[in-house]
Amino acid sequence: MRNWKHFRLIIGTGFFLIVCPFLVTDKIHIHSKAIAQKTTKYSDKTTFRWHDRLTQENLEIEAQQLEDRATQQFQNGELEAALETWQQVLEICHQQGDRDSGTEFYRFNISSTLYSMATIYKQQQKYQQALEYYQQALEIRQQLGDQELIAATLHNIGTVYHHLSQYPQALESLNQALVIREQLGDRTAISRTLNEIAIIYDTQGRYSQSLEFYQEALKIAKQEKDSANISAILSNMGLVYSQLGQYEQAINFYQEVLKTNPSTKATILNNIGAIYRRLKEFPKALEFYQQALAIHRKNQDRVGIATTLDNIGVIYREQGKNSQALESHQEALIIREELGDKEGQAATLHHIGIVHRESDRHPDALQFLTHTLIIDRQLGNQDGERITLANIGKLLERKNHPQLAIIFYKQSVNITETIRKDLKVLPVEQQKYYIESVAEIYRTLADLLLQEKRAIEAHQILDLLKAQEIFEYIGSLKTDEDEYTEIPLLELEKKFWKRYTQLMNEVGTNQVEERNVSSEKLLSIHNFIDSEEVAKIVSELDENAHGQKLTSDLLLSLKYELQEHKQQDTVILYPLLLEDRLELILVSANSDPIHRTVSVTKEEFSQAILELRVRLINRNKAQSLSRGNNNQSDRKVMEAGAKLYDLLIKPIEPHLKIINAKTIVYAPDGQLRYLPLAALYDGEKWLLEKFKINNITTASLMDLTPKTEINPLILAGALTEGIYNFQVGKKNFDFEGLPFAGVEVEKLATMFPQTNKLLGNAFTKKAMESQMDNYNIVHFATHSAFVNGHPEESFILFGDGSRASLRDVKDWNLSNVELVVLSACQTGVGKQLGNGVEILGFGYQIQEAGALATLATLWQVDDQGTHEFMNYFYAALKNGATKSEAVQKAQISMINSEFSHPYYWAPFILIGNGF
């Protein structure tokens, strides 16, 4: 569905100021030749004989009377009558200017009269006429040098360009007005121009710039106590928050604006309706839209009528009432075309295209969506373009043209990446909401690629999505261009896209020249898609893609990494959980990627993950089984682990044996991040007994280069005593000191005498941060938490009660650190799984700070059991094991001890380079 922001509030300056030719007020000017051209309808003999008899004094009296009449007509809403009266005032101004040789006084009066006439045209939504009159007024005002009036005219020219969807021209005029108003110090006017600039950025999908200008405008409006402007700006900001998915906040705000500024009722009703539409509460949305439509019809607001008709059409379509939807959109389209509203026209054409698609009228759907795309590209409307591309992709997928659909989906993703690059300066919450709103297209594209056996390309998309999720979660403020990746087209896809773009440009050029696009020209694009030329491209795509002749740079580089470093016994496992199936891809050094599809629904798989976790973290049962019955594990845990083993490992098991794999590099997606891979059970052994397991954030962040043997030089801190009660966000935390944490650190110091111990009150945030980069292992024997959806609430707790959040970690200097150990983490998972990004968030951020890897836990484990695990782990490191080997050896040692239940050993995960 096209995300169409329906209404914005514009509070202008000098939009209509009552004028008098003989009083210095804000007015308009015109050239004598232009006046003569515009007043021919009043040049009959009666009119001009009357003028010829008037003396100078009589002319002034008559002009004043006409002006009073025009003012009254305007106030009564008689716009056409007011316009005709202003024309007569303009003629008098022109005659007096001729008699006085065009003195500045009369030129001022001419410009002011034109300005008022332009404002009427704008209110009538006759934007071309308004622009013409404003521009003539501007030229005279620039000659006269009145900066205040020049700024007012430039502002209004900018608003007209905006209505005409000519955004670069609009921004140019508004920025010129802003400069002048800042020089004059007119703060009310400055705020209103800032608001208009923000609206244009908002329209273009440039949300960060938009919010920046809205916030500055709001700050000034509040200082100036400009209540009308405050309401307008806050309403417009509500639209941005709505676009970014913060619906409840937007609704509450709109209702507040409705109380304080009833004059904006239709606009606010429309905006509230749009939110209920996104929440799929269609009857409620329709109720708000119909109320808004009644007000717009009463006010004869044609833009409002058209936009609300589109909104109502969308609701009808969502309810399956396609004929009513089409009727509503077609009425809106007539109004859009009459107004010359290109932005609105694109939205309406898009809606009509979707209705045709949902009615299985595919040729009509393609024609309207293509027309929409042409306008989007002409307007530079990136957000509209990405949505239209995705909807054409969906249409082609339904038409059984999957290879072509992939091309359009790829282009949609690439434009989304461009928008995200702009959004990176926004607060993390707004980034997070946006990525949630657009993530579907990434998964749709990956899903389709997997269906077409184009597994490697699919996982390039997934790697990109995983990286995005982490960037949004941690709120990265980096400006590294490498954070944003363009999805490359295959050579054959490029060939198609080049020809398709060429045809669109030809049609678009004709549209500019002919003012519209004919069905015949749009049909040429449709015929191209159904042509033999495209059929040949699709055939070759099928053959090449299925033959895996193209690999993505990411996976190809990983394969080369494995080959170069002679890691023939290492595999990289990419799982993707879709609504109706699980997709598995296995990458190894010396064979093509293996792709397997497992028939299981997302709901079934998620339930299996929850079931395993519930069995694993039943602490009381684990203690009674492990300590009361040596080497016995809960059979229910084994059953739960076996169920997931059958789904996740068994389909690729033959290939693991052929490759003779010893290490699994695990790149989990979404809810799979909550799964402790080590606890999968094959009926005889736990997975960790067969493989070393190494989690990664995304393949693009992974360095597979083996490291030299670690000579541990350790900085270790321990939370040994005390009670800690505090609230972070909406969650309360209650922690106690960890007695075995002190024992754990003391044992480390015995094994490695150069260990720097910080215990109890000496274990502070400042003390740790100041020394970290002097060691190659930093060990935190303390409580830490991964909080789903709230990176600022994830933390590490220190002995003095201070905390380091994920935001703080980004400033750490860990360039010399090979491993950061978090030995007592917890990840809260309730009845509903999130996307697991919080688990990898700390690991990623620690890698970004310079460390190679992180050892963390998926839940808060037993204090003594953790102490035992760490003993085994560091003993293995001391004997020359790699990080991943040390984890495996420690877990196996736990299995063969009184801590055999996987509750004690399964939660330990290694994130990063474990080689």
Average pLDDT in the chain: 80
Mean pLDDT of 59-73: 79
DSSP states along 752-798: STT-EEEEGGG--HHHHHHHGGG-SEEEEEEEEEE-TT-GGG-EEE-
Q: How far apart are CA 846 and CA 848, in angstroms?
A: 5
DSSP designation for 469: H
> Judging by DSSP bridges, how do beta strands 570-577 and 582-588 pair with one another?
antiparallel
pLDDT digits (tens, 9 = 90+) for 214-229: 989 989 998 998 888 8
DSSP percent split of the chain into helix, strand, coil, nearest 5: 65, 10, 25
Q: Is the pLDDT of residue 109 over 70?
A: yes
What is the pLDDT, as a whole number, of residue 326?
96
Q: How far apart are CA 138 and CA 26, in angstroms?
A: 12
DSSP states along 807-861: HHHTT---TT-SEEEEEEEEE---SS----HHHHHHHHHHHHTT-SEEEEESS--
Please name the fold of domain 714-912: Rossmann fold (3.40.50)
* Rounded-to-10 torsion of CA 882, 883, 884, 890: 100
What is the pLDDT, as a whole number, of residue 430?
46
DSSP designation for 484: S
Backbone angles phi, psi at 857, to 5 degrees: -125, 150
Q: Is the pLDDT of residue 1 over 90?
A: no
> Judging by DSSP bridges, how do beta strands 663-666 and 570-577 pair with one another?
parallel
* pLDDT level of residue 476 (50, 70, 90 thresholds): very low
Which range, 552-556, 558-562, 655-659, is most confident? Answer: 655-659
What percentage of the chain has pLDDT greater than the value 70? 79
Mean pLDDT of 81-98: 79
Q: Report the SS3 class of residue 410.
A: helix
Contact 832, 610 (CB under 8 A): no
DSSP states along 541-607: HHHHHHTT----HHHHHHHHHHHHTT-TTEEEEEEEE-SS-EEEEEEESSSPPEEEEE---HHHHHH
What is the pLDDT, as a whole number, of residue 9?
55
Mean pLDDT of 49-70: 66
CA 158 to chain centre: 28
Q: Is the pLDDT of residue 808 over 90?
A: no
pLDDT digits (tens, 9 = 90+) for 703-723: 667 666 778 899 999 998 888
Q: Give 831's strand partners.
A: none
In order of 508, 509, 516, 519, 867, the CA distances from 513 in angstroms are 9, 6, 8, 16, 77
Average the pLDDT over each of 130-139, 202-211, 218-227, 558-567 and give the range with the smallest value.
558-567
Within a 10 A sphere around the Cβ of 800, how many other Cβ atoms?
15
Which range, 305-314, 551-560, 571-580, is most confident? Answer: 305-314
* 96, HSE (Cβ side, Cα atoms, 13 Å): 26
Q: 719: which residues sit within 8 A by CB, 6+ positions away?
A: 735, 737, 738, 741, 760, 763, 781, 782, 783, 797, 798, 799
What percentage of the chain has pLDDT greater than the value 90? 35
Q: How far apart are CA 175 and CA 165, in angstroms?
A: 17
List the structure tokens of 383: 């957000």
What is the pLDDT, as a whole number, of residue 892?
96
Q: Give 735's strand partners.
A: 724
Within the chain, which residue ranges are assigned CATH 3.30.420?
Answer: 553-697
Q: Is the pLDDT of residue 433 over 70?
A: no
Q: Is the pLDDT of residue 830 over 60?
A: no
Q: How far apart are CA 300 and CA 79, in angstroms?
A: 12
What is the pLDDT, as a whole number, of residue 509?
67
Backbone angles phi, psi at 484, to 5 degrees: -120, 130
List the structure tokens of 278: 């996104």
Q: Under CATH, which number does the domain 553-697 receive?
A: 3.30.420
Mean pLDDT of 759-772: 92
DSSP designation for 452: T
Contact 442, 465 (CB under 8 A): yes
Q: Is the pLDDT of residue 910 over 70?
A: yes
Higher local confidence (pLDDT), 556 or 888: 888
What is the pLDDT, as a whole number, of residue 389?
95
What is the pLDDT, as a whole number, of residue 306?
94
**Triad 395, 397, 403: Cα angle to 5°:** 125
Higher local confidence (pLDDT), 518 or 183: 183
* pLDDT level of residue 726 (50, 70, 90 thresholds): confident
Q: How far apart are CA 198 and CA 193, in angstroms?
A: 9
List the structure tokens of 435: 């990525």
DSSP designation for 694: E
Q: How far apart are CA 58 and CA 711, in angstroms?
A: 103
Q: Is the pLDDT of residue 494 over 50?
A: yes
Mean pLDDT of 485-492: 78
Q: Is the pLDDT of residue 761 over 60?
A: yes
Q: Report helix angle 837-848 to 455-474, nearest 10.
A: 80
* 784, HSE (Cβ side, Cα atoms, 13 Å): 31
> Judging by DSSP bridges, how do beta strands 908-912 and 723-728 pair with one another?
unpaired
Q: 403: which residues sit within 8 A by CB, 6+ positions away?
A: 452, 537, 538, 541, 542, 545
Q: Report the SS3 class of residue 686.
A: strand
Higher local confidence (pLDDT), 734 or 372: 372
Within a 10 A sphere around the Cβ of 690, how many other Cβ atoms?
17
Q: How far apart are CA 619 and CA 405, in angstroms?
A: 50
Burial of 105 (0-12, 13-18, 19+ CB in 10 A): middle
Higher local confidence (pLDDT), 101 or 895: 895
Q: How far apart are CA 236 and CA 240, in angstroms?
A: 7
Mean pLDDT of 730-745: 85
* pLDDT level of residue 595 (50, 70, 90 thresholds): confident
Please name the fold of domain 1-237: 1.25.40
Higher local confidence (pLDDT), 99 or 170: 170
Burial annotation 714-750 (CB, 10 A radius, 16+ → b, else e): bbbbbbbeeebeeebeeeebebebbebbbbbbebbee
* pLDDT level of residue 4 (50, 70, 90 thresholds): very low
Within the chain, which residue ranges are assigned CATH 1.25.40.10?
Answer: 1-237
Mean pLDDT of 417-431: 57
Closest CA to 589 of 651, 691, 653, 665: 665
Mean pLDDT of 880-901: 93
* pLDDT level of residue 231 (50, 70, 90 thresholds): confident
What is the pLDDT, as a whole number, of residue 111?
86
Contact 364, 326 (CB under 8 A): no
Q: Is the pLDDT of residue 762 over 90?
A: yes
DSSP designation for 393: H
Q: What is the pTM of this model?
A: 0.55
Average the pLDDT over each of 482-491, 500-509, 682-691, 844-853 and give the range with the smallest value.
482-491
pLDDT digits (tens, 9 = 90+) for 144-186: 999 999 999 999 999 999 888 788 899 999 999 999 999 999 9
Q: Is the pLDDT of residue 101 over 50?
A: no
Mean pLDDT of 328-338: 94
The one-letter amino acid at 501: T
Mean pLDDT of 256-272: 80
Q: 145: which residues sit within 8 A by CB, 6+ positions away?
A: none
What is the pLDDT, as a whole number, of residue 836?
67
